[in-house]
Structure 1
């Protein structure tokens, strides 16, 4: 379960946008440990509207080409993960950080989709007994 609900985030963002306080004072008033979190919510809301505050409930598949282009954008520009995620419409900046780290360690091959789980092996002696 998410730590903060959509309604709570929206309430904090609306309070900020209606000049009821700074990110620091709103974080303190609403019991949010870090005022940077309020800034992230405000930026996401301004760029993507309500969808920027909602938790994504569906798994998105990104193509290898798209991942590589986002990583190259990060490496060639002086954008933060947060700024790049807002620009690309990705709601999770940590996902871009993972792509960049994987790319730096193993190159573009690390961004390819791999099957998860154990490999299935058939025991030849069991098949002949049937």
Structure 2
């Protein structure tokens, strides 16, 4: 259930538009913790009318290109989430904030739609073929060896950098370690 009903939002917006009180005083009058919801309701009402205050019942699926266009618009113009939502005929600015957070974290892959629910189980279990060293072609073996050597060199470079100046290395990688520890659920 929505935190505020459509009738309540409409009442507050009407009262603001009639000019009797400002955002802060309306928030205080109706016990709303901040003025921001009222500001966004007024903007949505001005842009879309009463439909701007309604909660959408059906979930619209947006294409990856549309999401990228919206994020590019924000980056190019510096517009707020609310202004961007109005520009692209959306009534949910927090959705854009989620897209931006996901894009910064996972890149374009994060914006692609994900399948919902558990994958279906097949009736017959097929054994996956395991590729062993013997079954790999000579070219695949060499590619594998090259990859392992690249990893070893990268590791040795980081080890050297750490040994030369441990404090600078730790500061540089502190943020990465902090975010990785949150993902694993450890403190």
Structure-1-length-normalised TM-score? 0.88
Unaligned ranges ≥5, structure 2: 126-187
Counterpart of 2:35 in structure 1 is 35
Q: Deviations over 1:49-103 (max 9, x none)?
A: 1011111111111112111111111122211111111211111111111111211
Q: How many residues align?
A: 125
Q: Mapping of 1:94-109 within 5 angstroms?
A: 94-109=94-109
Larger relative contact order (CA 8 Å, sep ≥ 6): 1
Counterpart of 1:12 in structure 2 is 12
Unaligned ranges ≥5, structure 1: 126-130
Q: Mapping of 1:67-86 within 5 angstroms?
A: 67-86=67-86
Q: Distance in 2 between matches of 1:86 and 1:115?
A: 28
Q: Distance in 2 between matches of 1:82 and 1:52?
A: 12
Q: After TM superposition, what 4+ stretches of structure 1 lie above 6 angstroms from structure 2? A: none
Counterpart of 1:54 in structure 2 is 54
Q: Distance in 2 between matches of 1:53 and 1:97?
A: 19
Q: Distance in 1 between matches of 2:119 and 2:44?
A: 40
Structure-2-length-normalised TM-score? 0.63
- 1:121, CA displacement in angstroms? 2.4
Q: Distance in 1 between matches of 2:36 and 2:122?
A: 53
Other structure's SS at 1:72 match: helix
Higher-Rg structure is 2
